[in-house]
Structure 1
């Protein structure tokens, strides 16, 4: 079940681009602040349902606070800044090296080679989706964008790896979300001009994003990496941009491409290689789907 919840987080992240079409007019940090505020509300709602005290202090250590905030806010901050300094194609390709890094982090010494081979296959699968018919043009003027993209990949892979080692409560993500919402609001006031006269479709987009890919998914990811099959989740992480492209194509917002089939094939093969005992585990029902 824990692995399934981790996969569900990846599915929600695959919906990010589609739901994002509802909120294109909202400045990035303003949207991030609103979504993470909804994410914090998920914790309160959970406590209401379970008849728990609403504002019990979190069990987070100083290290968990630091890494949690850096992971959730630092990733998004660096990503948004990277898009200001470099083209989105290059930024996305570099940022999505994080599943490869995570695969290596969670692999054991005996499985590291297969994790590396499987990870590179998954990364090539992502390249088919992100690049499509475009070419990479490495330019000196984009160097800050590239560096920020690399930092993004390191932050999210490091944060995800930390989750596999951390023993804090999953609902503490709500407190981290509140911290991220405040930092995002500060960044919004510093870097952006507010857009608060929202239509009902924009509000709907904000709520769905906060409950899903930019909020609720982080609870599911926390559960998956703490209690699920970490190597499998790391391998399947490559499928997120592919799923996003498939969903956009199904919604008529993106032309269908044979690259999607190629990407899915490479990612599936990579996942099997990185998890060389995967089929045997599934047969013996040792993976908790």
Structure 2
């Protein structure tokens, strides 16, 4: 079940672009504030439904607070800033190095080489679908003029892979995501007023889009990923993360926004092949780490 929840989070991230198309007029950090506010609200709704204390203090240590905030806010901050300094196609490609890095981080002893080969094959599939989706070559127009954007995108990959690896090595309630979301929402609001012009004339479509983003890929999915990467098959989840851009492409095709192409099929086969090579074909959960074993 935890592995399934992790795969559900990846699937949710795959429809991020589709839902994001509904909220394209909302400034990025303002939208992030809305989504993480919804994410925090999910924790209180759950506690209210279970008749537990709404404001019970979180049990996170200082490193857990620091890495959690760096992971959830740092990733999005670097991503949005990277888009200001480099083309989206190169940014997207560099950011999606994170499944490759995470695959190497969580690979079992003796499977590092297979994880590298599988990750590289999966990354090749991702590069094809990103190039197709964003209309160009991922390796075209690479220029030192975009170095700041490239470094920020690389920071995204390192931040999310490190955050996910850290989660896999720790225990703790998924409710911790709710408390982290409160902090990220506040930081996003500060970033919004620092870098953006407020936009408050929301249409019904934008309200629905923001709500769905908060419940799904930019909110609820982080709870699912927390459970999955801590208790599920980490290797399978890491390599399966390459499927998110594919899900994005297929969802846009089904929505009539993009067109089907043979490249998508090739990319799908590459990602699946990479998964078989990098991760043992099993949904067996890893042993649960008990407090004091780390």
Q: Give me the TM-score of the superposition, normalised by structure 2.
A: 0.94
User: 2:123–2:242: 8 Å Cα contact kept in structure 1?
Assistant: yes
Map Cα deviations across residues 20-50 of structure 1 (whole Å, 9 max, x no partner): 0110000000000000000000000110111
Measured on the aligned residues, the alpha-carbon RMSD in Å equals 1.1
In the alignment, structure 1 residue 269 sits paired with structure 2 residue 278: no
Deviation larger for 105-114 or 213-222: 105-114
Structure 1 residues 54-73: aligned runs within 5 Å = 54-73=54-73
Aligned to 1:22: 22
3-state secondary structure, aligned to 1:53: coil
1-side partners of 2:232 and 2:185: how far apart?
Answer: 28
In the alignment, structure 1 residue 192 sits paired with structure 2 residue 196: yes
Aligned to 1:173: 177
Structure 1 residues 2-21: aligned runs within 5 Å = 2-21=2-21
How far the C-alpha of 1:108 sits from its partner, in A, is 2.1
Aligned to 1:217: 221
Aligned to 1:134: 136
Structure 1 residues 46-61: aligned runs within 5 Å = 46-61=46-61
Deviation larger for 252-261 or 95-104: 252-261
3-state secondary structure, aligned to 1:246: helix
How far the C-alpha of 1:200 sits from its partner, in A, is 1.1
Map Cα deviations across residues 210-261 of structure 1 (whole Å, 9 max, x no partner): 0000000000000000000000000100000011000000100011121111
2-side partners of 1:58 and 1:287: how far apart?
Answer: 26
3-state secondary structure, aligned to 1:170: coil
In the alignment, structure 1 residue 100 sits paired with structure 2 residue 100: yes
User: 2:231–2:285: 8 Å Cα contact kept in structure 1?
Assistant: no
User: 2:12–2:217: 8 Å Cα contact kept in structure 1?
Assistant: yes
How far the C-alpha of 1:287 sits from its partner, in A, is 5.0
1-side partners of 2:265 and 2:170: how far apart?
Answer: 36
Map Cα deviations across residues 36-79 of structure 1 (whole Å, 9 max, x no partner): 00000000011011100101110111100000000000000000
How far the C-alpha of 1:109 sits from its partner, in A, is 2.5
3-state secondary structure, aligned to 1:148: helix
Unmatched 5+ stretches in structure 2: 287-294
Aligned to 1:153: 157
Unmatched 5+ stretches in structure 1: none
Q: Give me the TM-score of the superposition, normalised by structure 1.
A: 0.96
